[in-house]
Each structure stands twice: as structure tokens, then as C-alpha cells.
Amino acid sequence: MILISIFVCFCLAAAVNYFRTRRQRKFIKNLKGPFSFPLLGSLHKILLLTPQNFFKNSAAYLAKYGNLTRCWAFHRLFIFVADLEFAAHLLHSESHVQTGAELMSDWFNESSLMCAAEQWPQRHAQLIEIFRPERVLQQRKLWQQQQSLLQAKFLEQAASREAFDVQPLVSSHVLDIVLLSNCGMQPSEQYKQSFLDLTKLYRKRFLSIKSANRLTFRLTSPFVHRRQQRLIKRLNKDNRLMIDELRQQLDLMSSGIVIERFELAKKLEHGSLLQLLLTGAEQQLSEAQLLAELNACNYLAYMLISTTLCFALVQIARHPGVQQRCLEELRAQSEEQQLSELPYLDAVLKETLRLQPAQLWLARQLTEDYDYTHSQLGAGSLPLGAEIYMNLFALQRSSDDYGALPTKFEPTRFLAAHPVELLSFGLGPRRCPAQDYSLLLLKTLLAPLLRQFELLPNGEPLRLDLHLTLGSKNGFQLALKQREAIN
């Protein structure tokens, strides 16, 4: 009796789901994809994905179904894309800018990354203004001071010449730099610990079907959910204190109180992100928006900058010719020249990001139907509600768009008269507002290391995995040798 009731309920739910998705199915008849079971769709494909098997499974999936495919899970329609022409066309579209990522919404809900579509253009424009090159340059002195601490740690490692995992060193220094740059002051050790704990918690949630959306996460992992909310609350309590302190300092400055000025000037000379968020907006941000923006920028900057720097160090260590050319470029540069005038190092970073895009997916949720034309796939439409995931790892390794040896580490691709396309910061209206800022920060951290140390290709090769950002299961191993000083 129970079995019959379950069967009847299943059939009813499947029928409702069939009618609910009828319109969407009409649009995607031309797309291939895995077999769809009634109601469940191709849930099995998604359930079987883990951070470790992601690359193998996704390569097999693409080989079987192609670079533009459909995959159902219940009523949700996923479109997986690994095609440059299609991705570039969609990303440049002004009317399809909704990102739809839900995983991080408790932490970043009102940030520009996740705010409501009507607010987004103004919020994004504010960030573009904040990361303008002149503003970014103000931060360089601070970055250089902090870089010298990382340099000193490298020197200790160079003494042994043994292979080591560079990630813990890089991550902890990047975290300090990012928090100092964004908050304008060094938060407490407890703040840093909560930030790291929360980041770790989200990394574990990624690719786990239990925590795919907020409801299933709450129901299936109530204790982890409670811990997550506690950590967010703790961070925001300290964020509020920092905002209050900064507001008081800015008030004192505007009322011209002389005693405080010296201290204040020292603290504010690099124009922190928080200060610019408080003073730069035409329309004042609410407290919730301010907290979410600060949290999102801290998280993105920490995760993406530290990951990219680790990959760049390993790539340079494993390509001696590239390392030599970087060194020659650095030695030819005079003290007064800006780091922005290092085209080869710039190309090395871009090539690192092409082959190892720290943020592997770009996502769009269609809020209206989307018509496309494609030189090989022809014309087609995707329906409102479809969730589109662009796999940058596969896309930026395609021989159709990146030449005969697409997986070769070859920075000169970005120095050619017609450089290849880099999607790792996104493209079009929604692309990362901090692209130039990130490249300058990475060069500020990397250039002195390359001047002082030879990076040696010792240690195990990378074993890629995916925990929110791209990473390596066995860390980022290399060895260091101090260079002879040249006059």
C-alpha cells in the first residue's frame, strides 16, 4: 500500500514537473545532453561529481555531448557551455547580467555580486570608480611594505633549498594584505580566524548536493548552518566596529580637528576600499549593503589573488625560459618605472589565469529568453529561467580558439598583434571591476620575488581539484635558490 502511494505521488509530481517545464523543453530540442529520468532529470550526473573527479568527469561529459549542452535536475534547466564564441556573445549582452549563484547568499546577499537586478548597474559603476587606476596606485606603498614580509619568509625557505608547499605562506600574507587594503586597518586575529573558518566551511559546501540551496542546507545540515550563521555574525560585528571607527575619523577630519590629523593621515593615506565605499557613493549604501560588499571583496580578493599567485609561482618554476625572460624584463626596468610597464610579466599572469582560472565557472541566470547565432551551431534560443554555467577551464584550453598547442604555457599569446581572449575576469558589462587592480597587486607581490630568488621546479606536480576555486590537492610545490646580487 505504502509503495503504491509513493509510486502514485511520484507519477503526479513527474506529471506536474513535465507541464511546468514544457515551454523550456521546446527551446532546447537542438541541444544534446544526458538521459533525463522523469522528475529527477539527470540528477545522477550532478550527484556523482566531486572536487577530485570533476576534471575527469567533465572532460568525458564534453567529449560525449559537446560544448553546448542541456542537463535537467528536477525543474531546473542547466546549460553547460565550453565554447568561446557562445560565451563571449552572452557575456557581452547588456540584458543578461543576472548571476544567480545562491551558495554564498547568506554571506554576500546585498553585495553587487548578488544584489537585485535593478540596483546592480549603479552598484557595479561604484566599484568601477573605486578600482580606477589612480586610486589603485595609492595602495601600492602599502602592498610593497607587506610584500617585504613575504620576501623575508621566502628567504628563510631558500636557506634549505628543499621543495615545500608555497600555499600556506602565500595565503596568510595575501590575507593580511587584502584585509589591510580593504578595511584600512588590521582586523584582530579572531576576525581572521573566523574569516578562514567561514571560507573553509563554504569550500566544503561546494559540490555537495545537500547544500545546493539554502533550504536543503538548513534541513540536512542544521549544525553546520548554525555555525555558518554564527561566523557571519561575528565577522559583521567586527565589521561594524571598523565602520564606526572610520566614520568617527572621517568626521573629525571634516571638522578640522588638528590633534587627530597626523594619526588619521597615516591611517588613511592609502584610501581603503571601506573608506571609498563610505565616501565615494552618490547614494549612501545601507549598512547591510556595506557589510556585504566588504565581505564579498575580502573573500574574492583573498581566494582569487592567493590562488593565482600560487599557480603563477609554480608555472614560472616549471618553465625556466619564461623565468629568464621575466628576470631580463625586470632587470631592464629602472626604479622609477611603474610595474604596469612590465608587459611580459603581465602576459605570464594572464597565461596563468587562462590555463588555471581561479574562478572556474561564470554563471548567468536568464531572466528573459536569449537568442543566439553561432558560426558552427547555427541559430537557437534558450528559455527564461535557464541557468547557464560557462566552464572556463575547458573553454580556455580549446584548440579551436587557442591554437594547436592550447595547453602549452606560452605567455606570448597575450603579446601578439591579436592576443587571445581571456575570460578569467569575465567579459562585457559584468566583468570583474578589479581586473587591473588584481594584476597590479599580483605584479607587486611577484616582481621582487623573481628578482631575488630563482624558482626551482622541485616537488610533486600539481593535482588539480575544485573547492569553490581551482586548487591543487597536494599543494603548490617548488624550491628556492637565492640569486647572486648584480651590480
Annotated binding residues for heme, written as ranges, equal 432
Nearer to ligand HEM, 274 or 455 (CB): 274
Of 87 and 317, CB closest to ligand HEM: 87
- Of 117, 261, 129, 237, give the one whose Cα is nearest residue 188: 237
Beta bridge mates, 73: 41, 76
Question: Which residue number places its CB atom closest to ligand HEM?
Answer: 426
Q: Give least dist CB 11 to ligand HEM, A.
A: 39
In the complex, the residues that contact ligand HEM under the rule CB under 6 A are 91, 99, 112-113, 124, 127, 296-297, 300-301, 304-305, 308, 353, 358-359, 362, 424-426, 430-434, 437-438
Using the minimum distance from each CB to ligand HEM, give the nearer residue, 49 or 97: 97
Which CB sits closer to ligand HEM, 414 or 425?
Answer: 425
Least separation in angstroms between residue 446's CB and ligand HEM is: 12
Residue positions counted in the chain: 487
Q: Closest distance between ligand HEM and the C-beta of residue 353, in Å?
A: 6
Nearer to ligand HEM, 32 or 132 (CB): 132
In the complex, minimum distance from the CB of residue 481 to ligand HEM, in angstroms, rounded to a whole number: 27
Round to whole Å and give the CA distance between 193 and 184.
18
Phi, psi of 456 (to 5 degrees): -105, 140
C-alpha cell at 5: 502511494
For 425, other C-beta atoms within 10 Å of its C-beta total 20
Q: Which residues of 379-415 are buried (b: 16+ CB within 10 A; e: fewer)?
A: ebebbebbbbbbbbbbbbbeeeebeeebeebbbebbe
Nearer to ligand HEM (CB atom), residue 27 or residue 437 = 437
Task: Tell me how far, at minimum, the Cβ of 117 lies from ligand HEM, in Å.
Answer: 11
Nearer to ligand HEM, 72 or 202 (CB): 202
Q: Which residues pair with 467 in a beta bridge?
A: 469
> Cα(108)–Cα(299) distance, rounded to whole angstroms?
10
- Pick between residue 105 and residue 452 the one whose CB is nearest to ligand HEM: 105
Report in angstroms how near the CB of residue 97 gets to ligand HEM at its nearest. 8
Annotated binding residues? 432
Q: Closest approach of Cβ 225 to ligand HEM, in Å? A: 25
Nearer to ligand HEM, 43 or 114 (CB): 114
**Could you tell me the smallest distance in angstroms from the CB atom of residue 271 to ligand HEM?**
13
Q: What is the spatial distance between Cα 403 and Cα 398, in angstroms, rounded to a whole number?
A: 8
CB of 209 to ligand HEM, least distance (A): 23
